[in-house]
C-alpha cells in the first residue's frame, strides 16, 4: 500500500509522437502535500495500533541528489522520511536497502509521539489518537484520489498513454513542451518523426555529422580500391640465390581436405583389396590368428557417438594386429530381432493398421526395416575407416544364425538348465512382455507411494498372548500398495529382535526393536516398548488380511529382511517379488498375481478390477486401507525403480509362466570361467562377478512376435510340453533352410518329427520368442564356430554396461553349453558424454553426431567437416576405460593435434624428395652425434608406442606420437635440420645424414600411426612410396629397428636439451628488448659448470661435420664456450649452464641468412658467406 504511493505519487500522460496539438505533453500532479499527509497519518495510525511495544521500525530517506533514469524525484518527497513497516518484512536496515536500492540511508526510528524524530522513547499508544490519525489520513487519500480521477477524465480526451512519474524526463505541470522550429520550420528526423526539443535537435545534428563522415570514409576507401586495381602490381623482390636452396617438395598437402580425400583413400583400399590381401598373406604364411568378436548393435536407428568410439577402438586393434602379421578377420554383426525393432515398425503404423496386423506381416516389415538399417549403419562404419568383412557380416535374422542359436538352446536343455515355471519376472506393461535384467534401467528421482499398514493379529503365538484382550497389529511397510491384494504372508527375520510398542492412541503394534526410535519420528507418536522377543517367536502368528476375508500366517523369511528401512516385518506377495517367491516356496504359499499383461487388476482382485496398478490401483488400495482403519502412515518415497529401457516407463514384478535358464546349475562354473579371463580394466571382473553371484534364474522367453521362437510344443489336452533333442534338432534343420518364419508358416505336423504324427495326441506350438540377449549371447556358436573360428576368441570389446548384457549372456550360454567361457580377454570402455559431462539427449540439445563430425553440418563454420581421422584421433586420445567427453572444444583440440602431426609428417616427406635409401643412406657409425641421438630416440619412442598398443593403451600411443612430433621433431630436431636440408648441396654428407634419420622416422611413423589415423598414414605413404614399394602402408608391416651404433647417452642428451631451453629463454629476452629479431642475429656465450656436459659440448663444437657445431644446435650465427662465468644484460641460467646473448658478428648472408665475417670475401658473390660460396661451387 505504501510503496506505490511513495514511489509513484503522480502519473503522467503522453500523446503519441507527431501530435499536432500544442498540448503535446500534459502532466497532472496531485498535491504532494496531500499525498505525504495521507501516507504519514495512515502510517502513524497503523504503527501505533499494530506495532508491539518496544519493537523497532526502519524509515527510509531517498537520496537528496539521486536522479532516477530519466527524472528527479519530486522535491517534497526528496526530504521526506518514509516508513517501511515490519509487516512487509523490513525488520532490518539490510532488508530496507534491498527493497529500496536507491536509498541514501536508513534511519532507526522508535514509534512514538514524534513520528519523524530519531531514537525517541516508546510511550503507550492512545487508541483514540490512532483512530483520529487514520481517519484524517483516509480523508486526505480520498481527496487525492478524487482529484486524480477528475484530471484523468479530462486527460482521457487526448487518448494519451499513462506512464509512471519517474519514467518521464523533467515533466511537470509547469513545463509544457513547445513545438521546436529551425528557421521557422519543423525538423523531421530520418524516421519521419518531428523533432520537438533543442536537445533532440542537437543530437540529431551530431548523428548526421557522424553519418556524413562515415559515408565519406567509405567513398575514400572505394576510390583507393579502384586505384589499387588500376595500378600495376609491384613484384616482390626475389633473391638470385632462391633457386639454389633445396626446399621441400611433396604432393602430401598440409590441408587434409578430408571430406574429399578420405573417400578416395577408402576407394583405393577397396580397389586394391588391401584388407583381403592382408588376410590371404597371413594365411599363406601360417600366421597366428587373432579374433576380436564384434558385439552386435541393434539395427534400429542411426549411429551415435557410442557406436563410433566402440568401432574405432576395435579397428585400431585389428589394424595393429594385422600390421604385426596376425591373421585378422573381423566379422561385423547386427542384432536384428527383438522389441527395439518391433517398436520402430509399430510406430510407423496407424492404430487401425496395428489392430489388424498379422504376425507374418509384422515379421516381414520388421525384417525389411532391420536390413535397411544394417545397410545404413554399415556405410557409416566404413566411412569411419573401419575394416571388416562388411560384404559377409552376421545378422541374427539369418537362417544359419537362427539354426545355430536353436542348437545352443538344445545343448542347454540337454544339460538340464532350461525349465518352464510360474514365477515373478520383470514385466513391462508398456511393452506387454517379460524383461531380463539387462533390459532394465533405474533412473533417478522415481517416487513411490509408500505406506505403513497395521494388520490385525488373530491367532497369537505365546509371545503375544498377554496382549490378546487389547488386540495387537503387525506393522508392515511397502512401496507397492497395489500388491496388498496379493498378500499371502508377513515374513520376519528369525535373528532380529521385535517389540510390542504402545502408540499414543493406545494401539499396540509389533515392529523391529532397532526401528522404534525411527518410527517414533515417522509416526509422530511416542512408542512405548512393552515387550521384546525374536522373529522366531513370532513365526506361526496369524493375522487378518486387510482387504479380504482371509487369514495369513507370519513366516520365516531370509537375510533380505533387515532394519535398514521399513518396520522389520515384510509384506509378502509371492506373485510379485523374487524374495517373496522364494519365501513362498519354502512355506507352501500360493503364487497369486491378479494383474494382467497391461498392468491392470484382473477379476481376482475383486473391487479393484480394471484399475491400472501403478496408477489408479495404488490410490484405490490406499484409500480402502484408510477406510478400514489400518493405514498408519502414507508418505512419498524416492528411490531407484526398474524402467523398461525401450519405452522409458516403469515395470512391475509379476508371476507368469515363462521359460527360464537355471543359473544355479552352472553358477560355480561360470565364476571359475570369469577368473580365467583377463579383464581390462581389472574392475570389470569385480563387476560381472558380483552380477553372476547374485543373479536369479534367467527368464529367456518373451511374448513378442519378432524373434526366434522357442522350439517347444504342448499337448493340447494336458498342457505338457514336448522339448527333447530330436524335436529341437528337427526344428533347427528347418530354420537353417527356411528361417524362423517357418514356425508361423508351417503346420505343427510339418514342424515336428515324424514319430509324433501317429502317437494319437494333438499338439500346439508355443508362441514365445527368445530373449534377444539369448540371440546375441549365442553368437560365439552362431558366428565363430559356424565360420570355423576358434572359441574362446581372443577379445570381446564393448561398453562397461555389457557386464549385465552381452558379456554375461555370452558367458552363461557358453558355460552352460560347453563348460568354458567364449572369450580370453574382455576390454570395456565408458560412455560418451558431452564436454560438460552430461549424458547426451535430444531434449537437452547436446547430442554430438559422428556423421556431422566427419561431413560437417549445415553451417560449416559452426560445424566444420573434420573427417574420420580427427574422430579416430579423438578416440585414441581419451582414457576410454572411464566415461569420455566430446564437444566443440574437444573436437577443436583434436583437429589442432591432427594438423600438427600432419605438418610434421609433411616436412619429413617433403625433404626426402631426392633421397634413395639404397644410394644415399649414411651408415649409422658415420652419423653426427645429433643424428645418432635422434635415431636412438626415435626407436625408443616407437618401442614405447608398440608396448602401449599391446596393452590397448591408445591414449599413451597418442601422447607419445603427439609429443614426438611437436616437441622432439618440429620444435627441436627439424628446426635445427632446416639449415643443412635447405642450404647444403644435394649430396653433402651433412644433408644426407639428416635425410637418413628423416627416412627412418617417416617410414616408421606412418606405420605406428596407421592404426589410428589410417587415412593420413595412407595418404602420406602414397606420396612417399616408390614404384617398387608395397601398395599400402598396411602392407609395410610394423616398425623396423634402427642400427644405432654407438648409441648416444640419453642422460647426457637430456642435459643438452635443458641447455637448449636456457638458450631459448635468453634469446627471447633479447628479442623482447629488440636486440635481435631472428635467433640467427645472435651470438651466444655459454658457461657450463658440469664437467661431463662441458666435455660433450666441447667435443661437439670441435667437430667439422657442419652438424654438431653448437651454433647449429642452438640455431644462432655464433656460439662459444667460456671457461669463466658470463654476465650481461641478456642472460639466462640453470643449475648447469649460464647463457649470454649478444649481437652476432659480421654481415647477414643473403643465401643462408647467417651472420658471418666472411660475407663479402667472394668477389663473384659479395653478399654471401664462404660456406654458401663453397656450396655453389660444388653444385656448379
Helix H or strand E segment including 429: none
pLDDT (mean) for 734-747: 94
pLDDT band for 608, please (50, 70, 90 cuts). Answer: very high
pLDDT tens-digit readout, 85-115: 333 333 444 444 444 444 333 333 333 333 3
DSSP 8-state secondary structure symbol assigned to residue 473: E
pLDDT of residue 176: 41
Which residues have CB under 8 Å from 814's CB, separation 6+?
A: 673, 780, 781, 791, 792, 820, 821, 822
pLDDT beyond 70 at 670 = yes
CB distance 168 to 29 below 8 Å: no
Chain centroid to Cα 660, Å, comes to 36
pLDDT tens-digit readout, 873-916: 999 999 999 999 999 999 999 999 999 999 999 999 999 999 99
CA–CA separation, 490 and 557 (whole Å): 9
Average pLDDT, the chain: 84
Q: Strands (DSSP E) along 122-205, which ranges?
A: 161-164, 181-182, 185-188, 194-195
pLDDT of residue 3: 37
pLDDT tens-digit readout, 386-414: 999 999 999 999 999 999 999 999 999 99
pLDDT beyond 80 at 1174 = yes
pLDDT tens-digit readout, 242-287: 999 999 999 999 999 999 999 999 999 999 999 999 999 999 999 9
Helix (H, G, I), strand (E, B) or coil at 273: coil
pLDDT of residue 184: 65
CB distance 322 to 1034 below 8 Å: yes
pLDDT (mean) for 352-357: 84
Most confident of 423-437, 556-570, 898-912: 898-912
Q: How many CB atoms lie within 10 A of CB 336?
A: 28
pLDDT band for 703, please (50, 70, 90 cuts). Answer: confident
DSSP letters spanning 373-401: HHHHHHHHHHHTT--S-TTS-EETTSHHH
pLDDT band for 164, please (50, 70, 90 cuts). Answer: very low
pLDDT band for 157, please (50, 70, 90 cuts). Answer: very low
Bond from prior residue into 148 cis (ω within 30 degrees of 0): no
φ, ψ of residue 1080 to 5 degrees: the values are -70, -10
Which tops the pLDDT comparison, 647 or 111? Answer: 647
pLDDT band for 118, please (50, 70, 90 cuts). Answer: very low
pLDDT of residue 151: 53
φ, ψ of residue 103 to 5 degrees: the values are -80, 145
Residue length of the chain: 1180
pLDDT band for 171, please (50, 70, 90 cuts). Answer: very low
pLDDT band for 850, please (50, 70, 90 cuts). Answer: very high
pLDDT of residue 1047: 58
Question: Range with the lowest mean pLDDT among 70-74, 200-204, 527-531?
Answer: 70-74
pLDDT beyond 50 at 155 = no
Question: Range with the lowest mean pLDDT among 112-121, 231-240, 532-541, 1073-1082?
Answer: 112-121
pLDDT of residue 39: 61
Q: In 242-269, which positions are buried (b, 16+ CB within 10 angstroms) versus exposed (e)?
A: eebebebebebeeebebbebbeebbeeb
DSSP 8-state secondary structure symbol assigned to residue 840: P
CA–CA separation, 1098 and 1095 (whole Å): 5
Q: Strands (DSSP E) along 1062-1175, which ranges?
A: 1082-1088, 1118-1121, 1131-1133, 1137-1143, 1147-1148, 1155-1156
pLDDT of residue 696: 82
pLDDT (mean) for 1127-1152: 93
Percent share of the chain, pLDDT over 90: 59
Rounded to two decimals, what is the model's pTM? 0.73
Q: How many CB atoms lie within 10 A of CB 416?
A: 11
Cell numbers at 678, concatenated? 583377463
Q: Which residues pair with 425 in a beta bridge?
A: 654
Percent share of the chain, pLDDT over 70: 84
Which tops the pLDDT comparison, 64 or 882? Answer: 882
pLDDT of residue 45: 58
pLDDT beyond 70 at 194 = yes
Question: Range with the lowest mean pLDDT among 88-97, 620-629, 856-865?
Answer: 88-97
CA–CA separation, 68 and 386 (whole Å): 67
pLDDT tens-digit readout, 755-787: 887 776 889 999 999 999 999 999 999 999 999
Chain centroid to Cα 759, Å, comes to 61
pLDDT of residue 190: 73
pLDDT beyond 50 at 185 = yes
pLDDT band for 842, please (50, 70, 90 cuts). Answer: confident
Amino acid at each position: 500500500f505504501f510503496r506505490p504511493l511513495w514511489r509513484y505519487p503522480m502519473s503522467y500522460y503522453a500523446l503519441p509522437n507527431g501530435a499536432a496539438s500544442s498540448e503535446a505533453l500534459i502532466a497532472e500532479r496531485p498535491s504532494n502535500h496531500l499525498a505525504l499527509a495521507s501516507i504519514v497519518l495512515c502510517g502513524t495510525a497503523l504503527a501505533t495500533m499494530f506495532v508491539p511495544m518496544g519493537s523497532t521500525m526502519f524509515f527510509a530517506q531517498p537520496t537528496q541528489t539521486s536522479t532516477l533514469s530519466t527524472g528527479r524525484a519530486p522535491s517534497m518527497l526528496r526530504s521526506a522520511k518514509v516508513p517501511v513497516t515490519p509487516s512487509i518484512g523490513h525488520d532490518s536496515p539490510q532488508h530496507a536497502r534491498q527493497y529500496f536500492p536507491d536509498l541514501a540511508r536508513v534511519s532507526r526510528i522508535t514509534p512514538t509521539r514524534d513520528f519523524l524524530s530519531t531514537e525517541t522513547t516508546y510511550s503507550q499508544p492512545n487508541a483514540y489518537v490512532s483512530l483520529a490519525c487514520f481517519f484524517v489520513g483516509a480523508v486526505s487519500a480520498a481527496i487525492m484520489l478524487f482529484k486524480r480521477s477528475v484530471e484523468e477524465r479530462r486527460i482521457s480526451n487526448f487518448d494519451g498513454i499513462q506512464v509512471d512519474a519517474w519514467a518521464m524526463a523533467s515533466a511537470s505541470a509547469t513545463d509544457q513542451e513547445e513545438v521546436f522550429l529551425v528557421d521557422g520550420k519543423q525538423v523531421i528526423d530520418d524516421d519521419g518523426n518531428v523533432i520537438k526539443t533543442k536537445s533532440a535537435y542537437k543530437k540529431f545534428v551530431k548523428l548526421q555529422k557522424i553519418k556524413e563522415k562515415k559515408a565519406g570514409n567509405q567513398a575514400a576507401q572505394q576510390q583507393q580500391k579502384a586505384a589499387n586495381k588500376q595500378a600495376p602490381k609491384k613484384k616482390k623482390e626475389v633473391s638470385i640465390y632462391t633457386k639454389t636452396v633445396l626446399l621441400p617438395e611433396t604432393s602430401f598437402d598440409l590441408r587434409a581436405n578430408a571430406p574429399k580425400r578420405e573417400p578416395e583413400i577408402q576407394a583405393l583400399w577397396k580397389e586394391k583389396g588391401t584388407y583381403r590381401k592382408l588376410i590371404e598373406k597371413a594365411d599363406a604364411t601360417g600366421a597366428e590368428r587373432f579374433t576380436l568378436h564384434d558385439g552386435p548393435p541393434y539395427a534400429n536407428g542411426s549411429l551415435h557417438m557410442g557406436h563410433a568410439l566402440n568401432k574405432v577402438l576395435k579397428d585400431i586393434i585389428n589394424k595393429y594386429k594385422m600390421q604385426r602379421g596376425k591373421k585378422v578377420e573381423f566379422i561385423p554383426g547386427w542384432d536384428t530381432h527383438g522389441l527395439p525393432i518391433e517398436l520402430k515398425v509399430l510406430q510407423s503404423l496407424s492404430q487401425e493398421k496395428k489392430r489388424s496386423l498379422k504376425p507374418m506381416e509384422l515379421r516381414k516389415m520388421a525384417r525389411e526395416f532391420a536390413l535397411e538399417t544394417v545397410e545404413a549403419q554399415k556405410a557409416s562404419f566404413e566411412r569411419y575407416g573401419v575394416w571388416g568383412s562388411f560384404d559377409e557380416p552376421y545378422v541374427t535374422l539369418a537362417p544359419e544364425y537362427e539354426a545355430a542359436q536353436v542348437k545352443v538352446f538344445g545343448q542347454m536343455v540337454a544339460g538340464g538348465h532350461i525349465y518352464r515355471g510360474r514365477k515373478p519376472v520383470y514385466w513391462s506393461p508398456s511393452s506387454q512382455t517379460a524383461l531380463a535384467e539387462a533390459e532394465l534401467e533405474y533412473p533417478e528421482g522415481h517416487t513411490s507411494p509408500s505406506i505403513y499398514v497395521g494388520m490385525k493379529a488373530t491367532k497369537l503365538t505365546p509371545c503375544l498372548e498377554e496382549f490378546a484382550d487389547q488386540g495387537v497389529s503387525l506393522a508392515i511397510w511397502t512401496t507397492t500398495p497395489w500388491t496388498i491384494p496379493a498378500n499371502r504372508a508377513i515374513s520376519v527375520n528369525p535373528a532380529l529382535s521385535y517389540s510390542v510398542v504402545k502408540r499414543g492412541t493406545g494401539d499396540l503394534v509389533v515392529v523391529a526393536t532397532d526401528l522404534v526410535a525411527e518410527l517414533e519420528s515417522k509416526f509422530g507418536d511416542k512408542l512405548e516398548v512393552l515387550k521384546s522377543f525374536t522373529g522366531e517367536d513370532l513365526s506361526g502368528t496369524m493375522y487378518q488380511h486387510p482387504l479380504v476375508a482371509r487369514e495369513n500366517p507370519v513366516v520365516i523369511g531370509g537375510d533380505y529382511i533387515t532394519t535398514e528401512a521399513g518396520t522389520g516385518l515384510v509384506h509378502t506377495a509371492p506373485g510379485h517379488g523374487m524374495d517373496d517367491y522364494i519365501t513362498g516356496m519354502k512355506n507352501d504359499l500360493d503364487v497369486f498375481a491378479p494383474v494382467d499383461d497391461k498392468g491392470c487388476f484382473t477379476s481376482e482382485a475383486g473391487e479393484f478390477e480394471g484399475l491400472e496398478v501403478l496408477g489408479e490401483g495404488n490410490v484405490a488400495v490406499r484409500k480402502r486401507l484408510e477406510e478400514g482403519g489400518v493405514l498408519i502412515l502414507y508418505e512419498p518415497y524416492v528411490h531407484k525403480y526398474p524402467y523398461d529401457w525401450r519405452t522409458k516407463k516403469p515395470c512391475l514384478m509379476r508371476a507368469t509362466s515363462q521359460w527360464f535358464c537355471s543359473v544355479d546349475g552352472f553358477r560355480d562354473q561360470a565364476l571359475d570361467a570369469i577368473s580365467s579371463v583377463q579383464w581390462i580394466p581389472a574392475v570389470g571382473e569385480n563387476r560381472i562377478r558380483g552380477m553372476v553371484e547374485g543373479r536369479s534364474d534367467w527368464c529367456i522367453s518373451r511374448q513378442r512376435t519378432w524373434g526366434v521362437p522357442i522350439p517347444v510344443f504342448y499337448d493340447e489336452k494336458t498342457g505338457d510340453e514336448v522339448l527333447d533333442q530330436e524335436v529341437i534338432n528337427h526344428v533347427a534343420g528347418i530354420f537353417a533352410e527356411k528361417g524362423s518364419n517357418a514356425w508361423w508358416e508351417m503346420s505343427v505336423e510339418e514342424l515336428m518329427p515324424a514319430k509324433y504324427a501317429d502317437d494319437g495326441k494333438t499338439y500346439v506350438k508355443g508362441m514365445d520368442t527368445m530373449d534377444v540377449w539369448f540371440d546375441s549371447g549365442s553368437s560365439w556358436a552362431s558366428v565363430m564356430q559356424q565360420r570355423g573360428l576358434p572359441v574362446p576368441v581372443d577379445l570381446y570389446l564393448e561398453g562397461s554396461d555389457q557386464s549385465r548384457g552381452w558379456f554375461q549372456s555370452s558367458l552363461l550360454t557358453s558355460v552352460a553349453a560347453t563348460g568354458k567361457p567364449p572369450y580370453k580377454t574382455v576390454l570395456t570402455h565408458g560412455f560418451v558424454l558431452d564436454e560438460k559431462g552430461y549424458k547426451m539427449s535430444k531434449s537437452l540439445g547436446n547430442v554430438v553426431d559422428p556423421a556431422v563430425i566427419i561431413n560437417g553440418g549445415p553451417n560449416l563454420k559452426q560445424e566444420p567437416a573434420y573427417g574420420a581421422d580427427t574422430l579416430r584421433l579423438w578416440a585414441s586420445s581419451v582414457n576410454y576405460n572411464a566415461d569420455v567427453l566430446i564437444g566443440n572444444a574437444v573436437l577443436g583440440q583434436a583437429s589442432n593435434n591432427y594438423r600438427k602431426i600432419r605438418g610434421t609428417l609433411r616436412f619429413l616427406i617433403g625433404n626426402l624428395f631426392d633421397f634413395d635409401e639404397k644410394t644415399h643412406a649414411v651408415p649409422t657409425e658415420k652419423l653426427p652425434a645429433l643424428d645418432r641421438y635422434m635415431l636412438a630416440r626415435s626407436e625408443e619412442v616407437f618401442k614405447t608406442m608398440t608396448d602401449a598398443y599391446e596393452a590397448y593403451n591408445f591414449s599413451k600411443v597418442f601422447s607419445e606420437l603427439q609429443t614426438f612430433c611437436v616437441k622432439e621433431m618440429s620444435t627441436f630436431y627439424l628446426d635445427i635440420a632446416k639449415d643443412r636440408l635447405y642450404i647444403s648441396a644435394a649430396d653433402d654428407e651433412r644433408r644426407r645424414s639428416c635425410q637418413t634419420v628423416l627416412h627412418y622416422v617417416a617410414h616408421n611413423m606412418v606405420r605406428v600411426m596407421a592404426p589410428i589415423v589410417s587415412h593420413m598414414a595412407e595418404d602420406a605413404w602414397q606420396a612417399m612410396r616408390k614404384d617398387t614399394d608395397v601398395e599400402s602402408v598396411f602392407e609395410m608391416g610394423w616398425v623396423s629397428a634402427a642400427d644405432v651404433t654407438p648409441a648416444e647417452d640419453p642422460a647426457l642428451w637430456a642435459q643438452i636439451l635443458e641447455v637448449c631451453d636456457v638458450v631459448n629463454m635468453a634469446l627471447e629476452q633479447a628479442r623482447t628488448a629488440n636486440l635481435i629479431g631472428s635467433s640467427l642475429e645472435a651470438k651466444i656465450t655459454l658457461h657450463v659448470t658440469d664437467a661431463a656436459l662441458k666435455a660433450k659440448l666441447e667435443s661437439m663444437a670441435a667437430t667439422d661435420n657442419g652438424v654438431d657445431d653448437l651454433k647449429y644446435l642452438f640455431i644462432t650465427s655464433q656460439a662459444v664456450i667460456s671457461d669463466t662465468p658470463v654476465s650481461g644484460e641478456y642472460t639466462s641460467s640453470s643449475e648447469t649452464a649460464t647463457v649470454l646473448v649478444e649481437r652476432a658478428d659480421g654481415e647477414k648472408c643473403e643465401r643462408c641468412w647467417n651472420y658471418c665475417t666472411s660475407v663479402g670475401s667472394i668477389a663473384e658473390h659479395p653478399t654471401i658467406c664462404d660456406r654458401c660460396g663453397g656450396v655453389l661451387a660444388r653444385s656448379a
